[in-house]
Structure formats: C-alpha cells, structure tokens
C-alpha cells in the first residue's frame, strides 16, 4: 500500500552519521502531545490514541482503514494535524470525508501527511538549508510538500498553498516519529 519513498531523507538516514544522530536522540526525553506522555517504545497509532488533541486524526485514521498501517513496522514520519487543525475544515466537509463511500479520498489526504522514513526535525532543517531554503518532501500519498524554515520553526506547504507549522517536533515512536502540525494538508485541487 505504501509507495517507495523518494524523499532524500531516506538516503540521508541510511548514512552512519544520520543513523547515529537518530539513535543519540532516542536517549532524550520525548515531548508530550496534548499533555499526554508519548512512549518511544509504542507505535504511532497507540501514542496518537492517547493524545487528547489528536482525537479527530485518530477517528479519521480509523475511518480510512489506516490504523494497522500505523501500527506496522515503519519507519514513518507522520505530520499529525491537531483537532484544531481539523476544526478549520467545515464540519460538513469533514463529516462527508468520514463517510465510508469517501474512504479512498480520506486515505489519500491522510497519506499526504506520511513519509516513508523516520526523519527528525534537525535532519529536515538540514535538508532545507542544503536546498537553499526549500526542500520538497514526497509523501506516501503522492503529494509533494515544500518544507521551509520560518525563523526556527519548520513549515510545510501543500500543493494548494496551505501552510502548516510544526508545533511539536520529534515525538519518537517505535515505528518512526511524529511532528504535530497546526493545519491539515491537502492533495492538489482539494479545498479545505
């Protein structure tokens, strides 16, 4: 189901330096999400289910049938929109997306938040710097996000020009990493 990743991070993380940096960061304390402790030895789906500010994302993952995927081995990087990010989408649009007949569309939207490699924020910032301030991020959903820096914050711009800011970075999981974002990212041509 998940496509092969073309993100240069996959290559970068295969090097000894990046792998060492990631292992070193595993010893650091994991950030909380929505006030809930995130366990680095648990998969993304379990930790997301414990975060009170990610309940809409968890419901959407369930409706799209992606729960088992995010329980899988990975590695994944998930840019996880908060409940407030989903609240910016009209209630009618969100309810329509959660209907069984729209599962494929919902799955594509959610997979546009997933990268098929575990990429910490320092690696993303390094790629942005290496690419003169703008690094394309290929997602498993077929979207290309543009990663940039806004001061010391990482932002992601989707194919519609919607900009999400990483509000909590480097939440380590047993199968990857989560970066919490403040906007739902959408595939090209989909309005929010």
Reported as a single tens digit per residue, the pLDDT across 53-74 is 999 999 999 999 999 999 999 9
On the question of pLDDT at 10 being above 50, the answer is no
- Class of the 8-181 domain? mainly beta
Quote the tokens at residue 32. Answer: 């909380």
Domain boundaries, the chain: 8-181
Do 70 and 78 touch, CB atoms closer than 8 A? yes
Question: What pLDDT, on a 0 to 100 scale, did the predictor assign at position 191?
Answer: 63
Question: What pLDDT, on a 0 to 100 scale, did the predictor assign at position 192?
Answer: 56
Q: Is the pTM of this model over 0.95?
A: no
Scan for tokens 């081995």, then name that residue: 73
Nearest to 10 by CA among 169, 172, 138, 179: 138
Reported as a single tens digit per residue, the pLDDT across 60-109 is 999 999 999 999 999 999 999 999 999 998 888 888 988 999 999 999 99
**What number is the average pLDDT over the span 134-157?**
97
C-alpha 72/C-alpha 117 separation (Å) is 13
Nearest to 113 by CA among 22, 189, 191, 179: 179
- The percent of residues in the chain predicted with pLDDT above 90, rounded, is 75
Question: What pLDDT, on a 0 to 100 scale, did the predictor assign at position 13?
Answer: 31
Quote the tokens at residue 82. Answer: 């908060």
Q: How many CB atoms lie within 10 A of CB 30?
A: 19
Reported as a single tens digit per residue, the pLDDT across 20-38 is 334 444 456 899 999 999 9
φ/ψ (deg, to 5) at 166 = -75, 115
């Amino acid at each position: 189901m998940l496509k092969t990743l073309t993100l240069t991070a996959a290559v970068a993380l295969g090097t000894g330096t990046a792998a060492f940096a990631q292992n070193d960061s595993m010893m650091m304390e994991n950030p909380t999400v929505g006030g809930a402790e995130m366990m680095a030895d648990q998969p993304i789906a379990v930790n997301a289910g414990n975060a009170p500010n990610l309940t809409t994302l968890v419901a959407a993952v369930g409706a799209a049938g992606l729960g088992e995927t995010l329980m899988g081995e990975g590695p994944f990087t998930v840019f996880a929109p908060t409940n407030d990010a989903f609240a910016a989408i009209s209630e009618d649009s969100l309810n329509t997306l959660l209907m069984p007949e729209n599962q494929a569309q919902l799955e594509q939207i959610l997979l546009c938040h997933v990268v098929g490699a575990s990429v910490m924020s320092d690696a993303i910032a390094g790629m942005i710097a290496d690419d003169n301030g703008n690094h394309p991020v290929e997602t498993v959903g077929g979207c290309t996000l543009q990663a940039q820096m806004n001061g010391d914050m990482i932002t992601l711009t989707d194919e519609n020009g919607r900009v999400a800011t990483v509000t909590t970075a480097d939440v380590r999981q047993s199968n990857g990493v989560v970066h919490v974002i403040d906007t739902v990212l959408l595939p090209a041509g989909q309005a929010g």
